[in-house]
Chain A
Amino acid sequence: MPHLNLDELKQVMLRCSGLPDQASVEGDITDVTFEDLGYDSLAVLEIASAMQRTYKIEISDESIETMVTPGAVLDFVNGALKAAA
């Protein structure tokens, strides 16, 4: 069953934000808000879009609103993958 971990999510985040800026996503950012990491609402939409395409899952508007941290994204995606399995 596919599974998304923090490192993979970091790679997606960096791709969505542009050129490599490793320092900004270093360490355990699981519970740091996207806002604090410098990712605005459009960036979060990009990340959600990438998740939808890669993992073939649906992310509703309400679910997006809960994605305030990388941890929330991991929880949602892995939950959806588990449900689909």
Chain B
Amino acid sequence: MSDRRVVITGVGVVAPGDSGREAFWSMISQGRTATRRITLFDPARFRSQIGAECNFDPQRCGLSYQEIRRMDRAGQFAVAAAREAVADSGIDIPNGDPSRVGVSVGNAVGNSILMEQEYRVISDNGRRWLVDAGYMVPHLYTVVVSSSIGAEVAYATDAEGPNAVITTGCCSGIDSVGHAFDLIREGCADVVVAGATDAPIYPISVACFDTLRASSTTNDDPEHACKPFDRNRNGLVLGEGSAMFVIEDAEHAARRGARVYCEILGFCARSNAYHMTGLRPDGREMADAITVALDQARVDPSDIDYVNAHGSGTKQNDRHETAAYRSSLGEHAYRVPVSSIKSMVGHSLGAIGSIEIAACALAIERDVVPPTANYETRDPECDLDYVPKTAREQKVDTVLSVGSGFGGFQSAIVLAAPGRAA
């Protein structure tokens, strides 16, 4: 690996609530939540009826009729966010060197809405195991392979370098940015359009989380349902959306006078090798991911200004994660503000890691720490400063963001303000 430095020069977001980077920031910095009763389908027969949905108008976001027809919601989000990021960065890919522009898109559940909708048609609503090929749509193959999402981002941005869909469950959104970081440092790309997307708010995924009893059942008060780290937390709220970035070699960015949101200083992925969904309370592997990422970043725990948590709002996660912070950050765990924006935008599985990185980049740019909404009652097992309800203006130069996902994945990434000494 070389000494190349890697920066973020463009940010695009399609988040729950209104679309666009500024609408996203406005919502989370004001502590407003987008968790509501699900409208994308009728949730009456489901245990958890809450979701954080995007008010997404694909045409207003620049998608063509054909893109809208052939792409699942997840792909549409990614393309819209990628276009916003590219415009934000000012980079001209087609007239530069497209072969040096890669793509890295995180995603967990593929094109699951379309997969499910098309299944209902060809199976005659589940009556036929031998599905009816006569009702197959021409783009059905690109529905079942999640690689198509990476392809669509390349079509939309003219990127011709290394392209991958990174699909490590709920860590996909951090891992895809980590992958971009590695590609640039390895020297096989100068720019990577990177981020993540997911759109799981549909019966099959909601039913899965119902059976696992991992999602919140506060159906009578959806706006306040997701309560990360709170003693009365009762589960996650499914979200959807995408955040995409232009990630660039620092010199390449400087040569074209690009505005830099932040630098990526360190990234580490680990696995707990314990259970596909369960977590041991000590958070060891997450702690190691944090420690290695900080080492790579040459950042001492005491230098961290903000920790953007995984904070899904389940009993086990928040306890696991708090333990990981205590062991990896030592005393500083008690001083640093730690917040979970899932309290506001829900848990969008493969997308959330990138949406959280977007929050971190904006936090660094604007020196504001977003809050943990709905936090009211202290849990003795979660005894850190979780920035209850109200955003905090403060210097934000160095940020740690972490993720944890089904399959045991544990990841950490360190971001810093441009010009912060390495």
Determine the chain B residues whose CB is within 8 A of the CB of A64 once the complex forms: 213
Interface of A is mostly: helix
Interface residues of A in 22-68 (CB under 8 A from B): 40-42, 45-46, 49, 61, 64
Q: How many A-B residue pairs have CB under 8 A?
A: 17
Q: What residues on B are CB-neighbors of A61 within 8 Å?
A: 213, 217, 234
Cβ A45 vs Cβ B212 within 8 A: yes
- Of B75-83, B102-110, B275-283, which stretch is located at the interface? B275-283
Q: How far is the CA of A12 from the CA of B213 in the complex (A)?
A: 20
Whether the Cβ atoms of B213 and A42 lie closer than 8 Å is no
Interface size on A, residues (CB 8 A): 8
17 A-B residue pairings within 8 Å (CB atoms): A40-B275, A40-B278, A41-B275, A41-B277, A41-B278, A42-B212, A42-B276, A42-B277, A45-B211, A45-B212, A45-B213, A46-B211, A49-B211, A61-B213, A61-B217, A61-B234, A64-B213
Query: Chain B interface (Cβ within 8 Å of chain A)?
Result: 211-213, 217, 234, 275-278
Residues on A with beta carbons closer than 8 Å to the beta carbon of B276: 42
- B276 CB to closest chain A CB (Å) equals 7
Min CB distance B219 to A, Å, is 14
Among B211, B217, B275: residue with most chain A CB under 10 A: B211
Residues from chain A with Cβ under 8 Å of B278 in the complex:
40-41
Given contacts A42-B212, A42-B277, A61-B217, 10 further A-B contacts (CB under 8 A): A40-B275, A41-B275, A41-B277, A42-B276, A45-B212, A45-B213, A49-B211, A61-B213, A61-B234, A64-B213
For B277, list chain A residues within 8 Å (CB): 41-42
* Distance, CA A18 to CA B198, complexed state (A): 31
CA distance A46 to B278 in the complex (A): 15
Chain A residues contacting B217 (CB-CB under 8 Å) are 61
Chain B residues with CB below 8 A from A49, complex form = 211
Among residues of B, the one whose C-beta sits closest to the C-beta of A59 is B213
Instruction: Please list the 3 inter-chain residue pairs (A to B) with the smallest Cβ-Cβ separation, ordered nearest first.
Output: A61-B213, A41-B278, A49-B211
How far is B276's CA from A46's CA once the two chains are assembled, in angstroms? 15
User: What CA separation (Å) do A40 and B278 show in the bound complex?
Assistant: 9
- Specify which chain B residues have a CB less than 8 angstroms from the CB of A46 in the assembled complex: 211
User: Measured between C-beta atoms, what is the minimum distance from B52 to chain A in Å?
Assistant: 21
Q: Please report the C-alpha to C-alpha distance between residue A40 and residue B275 in the assembled complex, in whole angstroms.
A: 9
Task: Tell me, in angstroms, the Cα distance from A70 to B51 when the chains sit together.
Answer: 35
